[in-house]
Amino acid sequence: MTDQPTIGVLAVQGDVREHLRMLSESGAEAVRVRRPSELAQVDALVIPGGESTTMDKLVRAFDLHDAIRARLAAGMPAYGSCAGMIMLADRIADGRPDQQTLGGLDITVRRNAFGRQVDSFEDDIHWEGMEATLHAVFIRAPGVAPVGERARALARVEHGPAAGRIVAVRQGNVLATSFHPEVTGDPRVHRLFVEIVRTCQ
Ligand code: GLN
C-alpha cells in the first residue's frame, strides 16, 4: 500500500464533505464514490453520517449495494460514522422492515438508541490506545448492543445517563463510531483509519 492511500467517501447522502476534508488532512487522497466504477478505484471506503434508511435505498438504486458488499468481503477497509455504523452492522435491531445493511461488523445496532430526550449530546471519552480524551458529538446516534465475538469495543460513553454504552468498534480493517469525529476537527479517528488502510494486507 502506498503512503497516500486513496479513500472514497460514499457520496449518496450525508455529511460527505466533512469526511473528505478530514481524510485529506489525515494524509489520504480523498474522493467521492457514487458509482461502482468509482468504488473500483479506491483502497478503502468511508460511510458518512446521515440517514441510514435513505442511504440504504440510494446505495441500492445506484447499484452500489452488491459492489460494496463484495469489496468488504474481499477485505476492503471501511469506516462508518453514525448512519455509516448502521450500514456496516451485520444486524439492525429496529430498522425499517425492508432496510438492508452492507454488513462487515459483527454487531447489532439499535437506531436512535439514546432516546428522544437525549437524542443529541456530547461527551469526552477515552479511546483505547489514545492518550487524551476525545470530544464526541452524538446526533440521533445508534447504539451497539450487543457486540458479537468477532468485533471489539474501543470506546464507551463516560458520563450521563448513557455511561458505559459502547460507541466505537473495530473488526479487522472495519471501524465504526456512533459519533461524528468529522464535525469536531479532531483528526485522530481519521488518522487511525488512514493508518489501518496503509498497513492492511
Ligand atoms: N438516526 C440516523 C439513522 O438512523 C443516524 C443519524 C446520524 O447519522 N447522525 O440513520
Helix axes 188-199, 16-25, angle to 10 degrees: 70
Catalytic residue among 18, 65, 182, 190: 182
Evaluated on CA atoms 147, 7, 34, 75, the torsion sign reads negative
Q: Which atom of ligand 1 is nearest to the CA of 55?
A: 10
163 has a pLDDT exceeding 60? yes
How confident is the model at residue 61, as a pLDDT? 97
Catalytic residue among 135, 180, 190, 200: 180
C-alpha cell at 192: 487511525
Centroid of ligand 1 to alpha carbon of 201 (angstroms)? 31
Neighbours of 120 (CB within 10 A): 10
67 to each of 38, 71, 72, 73, 74, how far by Cα in Å?
A: 11, 6, 9, 10, 11
151 has a pLDDT exceeding 70? yes
Q: What is the pLDDT of residues 84-139, one digit of tens each?
A: 999 999 999 988 889 999 999 999 999 999 876 567 899 999 999 999 999 999 99
What average pLDDT does range 162-186 have in this prediction? 96
C-alpha–C-alpha distance, residues 124 and 144, integer Å: 18
How confident is the model at residue 96, as a pLDDT? 87
How confident is the model at residue 146, as a pLDDT? 87
Q: What is the pLDDT of residues 39-94, one digit of tens each?
A: 999 999 999 999 999 999 999 999 999 999 999 999 999 999 999 999 999 999 98
135 is catalytic: no
C-alpha–C-alpha distance, residues 95 and 52, integer Å: 9
- If phi over 0 gives left and psi between -120 and 50 gives alpha, with beta otherwise, what is residue 174? beta
Closest CA to 31 of 2, 11, 14, 51: 11
C-alpha–C-alpha distance, residues 85 and 102, integer Å: 10
Q: Which atom of ligand 1 is nearest to the CA of 53?
A: 10
Task: Please report, for the chain, the start and end positions of each structural domain, with discontinuous segments joined by +.
Answer: 6-200
How confident is the model at residue 119, as a pLDDT? 78
CATH topology assigned to domain 6-200: Rossmann fold (3.40.50)
How confident is the model at residue 117, as a pLDDT? 55
Neighbours of 118 (CB within 10 A): 12
Q: Which atom of ligand 1 is nearest to the CA of 15?
A: 8
Geometric angle at alpha carbon 172, from 167 and 176, rounded to 5°: 25
182 is catalytic: yes
C-alpha–C-alpha distance, residues 101 and 188, integer Å: 26
